[in-house]
Structure 1
Amino acid sequence: MTKNPYISGLTGVSMRTVARELGVEAMSLYHHVADKEALLDALADWVFDRIPLPDPSLPWREALTRRWVDARATLSAHPWGLGLIESRRSPGPATLRNHDAVLGCLLGAGFPVPLAATAFSALDAYVFGFVLTEQTLPFEPGESAEEFVEALALPTDDYPHLATFIAAQVGPDYAHSDEFVIGLDLILDALEQRLSAVGLQVEGRQGP
């Protein structure tokens, strides 16, 4: 079974282990953070501080694409952050600033609050899920998807739909990571359609 890296990483976090990594006494850390929970709050904020804010000078769709591409890159580089960043009860300034900027991008583009909430949730769920999948794929180091599928040796008579899918999709140039932007575009397409429908409804109510 593939081990989830963020779980194994965070369960080992304690004031004592952090102090040992820093080469200091555990008690000296309490001059900087109150306890382990405060330390985890700071780590979550550290992650958000590395996700650039949406650029307000860009159209909303381009700005959000860049933001979530950056979020994926940051979480991929720091896999322990995936289970941490949305779990803290005391969010720090970088966390709040990032959320506020995303909402500002959505609301500024004309998203009503309920649709902005749905958009934020759907995009987060997609990106977090994609990163988690990437982190837990059962590939050996250096193994391609094509090699993994060949090793499975699935009987095509028993799994005809999988066989059709693999034959059409998985080849020498296939990379699971390539699916990310395609899926992100699908979500943004749907959000753009919903936003357009909201605009038409508003125009209809304002018409003669």
Structure 2
Amino acid sequence: MADMTTQAHTAARRRAPLSRERILGAAVALADEGGVDALSMRRIAHALGVVPMALYKHVTDKNELLDGMIDVLVREIDPPDAGIGWKTAVRRRVLSARRMLLRHPWAPGVIESRMKARTVPTPAVMEYLDSMIGTFRSGGFSVGLVHHAMHVMGSRLLGFSQELFRDAPDREPDPDAMPPQEMAARYPHLAELAMAVAHDPDSVVGSGCDDQFEFEFALDLTLDGLERLRDTL
């Protein structure tokens, strides 16, 4: 009887209309089972009971698949809590992001590699970072201090420890990228940060963020925190 029930559920799943959401959900499940390196369009198609070519109507290639999988995971992070202080709000969301990554241990490598490869983060990552910047701004942080805080936090905002805010290498503009006006309207806090924090193009460290300054800022912040703990513990 159990076998018949399982077969009925499998048949029902395969009769459901194919969609981008179903493909991404199946891809995440397969990556959880065997790691992202073993993921293939053929395996996803088999899990969904369709031919591999059917997938390409919804995802054009492996990179688009990985980007979509990242967005699925980021949307698992708890939404911001209203009516609490900035510090508690940030801490709760970062710890929620870490719980998400513990459920999907393959994710940090994919997030880091795709963040390096893309000119801008995926939509869900953009929404998440924008909301986190908004939390800092609502907590009384200046735009400049938010900029440094984002460097200090780095990928800890997404639950692991790598620098997310490196300068992107020169690439051709993405023809499918959102127009700047639309991007500013959708991600106002990111737009404010990008417009307010400008760097000297003649700087010896280049036109992007001053890596030495950001390194020393994070170092001093860490040392100040340790000193505070030493004096209170």
What is the distance in 2 between the residues matched to 1:67 and 1:121? 17
Equivalent residue, structure 2, for 1:11: 37
| RMSD of Structure 2 on Structure 1 (CA) | 2.9
1:50 matched to which residue of 2? 76
Distance 1:25 1:72, change over 3 A: same
For residues 136 and 85 of structure 2, what CA distance do their matches in structure 1 show? Answer: 10
Q: Does 1:99 align with 2:119?
A: no
The alpha-carbon deviation at position 61 of structure 1 amounts to: 0.5
**Is the Cα–Cα contact under 8 Å of residues 44 and 85 in structure 1 kept in the other structure?**
yes
Partner residue, 1:129: 161
Distance 1:118 1:47 in 2: 26
Q: Which has the higher contact order (CA 8 A, sep 6+)?
A: 1
Structure 2 equivalent of residue 83 of structure 1:
109
Partners of 1:59 and 1:51 in 2: CA distance: 18
Displacement, 1:40?
0.6
| Matching residue within 23, 26, 31 for 2:49 | 23
Q: What is the one-letter code of the residue matched to 2:150?
A: F
1:112 and 2:147 matched: no
Question: When the two structures are aligned, how many residues end up with a matched partner?
Answer: 130
Cα distance in 2 for residues equivalent to 1:118 and 1:102:
13
The CA deviation at 1:125 is: 4.2
What code does the residue aligned with 1:69 have?
A: L
Q: What's the CA shift string for 1:31-74, capped at 9, x where partnerless?
A: 11111111011001011100123224210001011001101100
Counterpart of 1:24 in 2: which secondary structure? coil
The Cα of 1:76 is off from its aligned counterpart by 0.4
Q: From the superposition, tell whether residues 96 and 125 of structure 1 become closer, same or farther in structure 2 (CA, over 3 Å).
A: closer
What SS class does the counterpart of residue 31 from structure 1 fall into?
coil
State the TM-score, normalizing by the size of structure 1: 0.54
Paired residues of 1:56 and 1:105 also in contact (CA < 8 A): no
Query: Aligned letter for 1:114?
Result: G
Structure 1 residue ranges without an equivalent (≥5)? 131-185, 194-208
Distance 1:61 1:9 in 2: 34
Over the matched positions of the two proteins, sequence identity in percent amounts to: 38
- Structure 2: runs of 5+ lacking an equivalent: 1-30, 163-220, 229-233
TM-score under structure 2 length normalisation: 0.49
- What displacement does 1:109 show? 1.4
CA distance in 2, matches of 1:13, 1:114: 41
Summarize the Cα distance change of 1:21–1:91 in structure 2 as closer, same or farther, 3 Å threshold.
farther
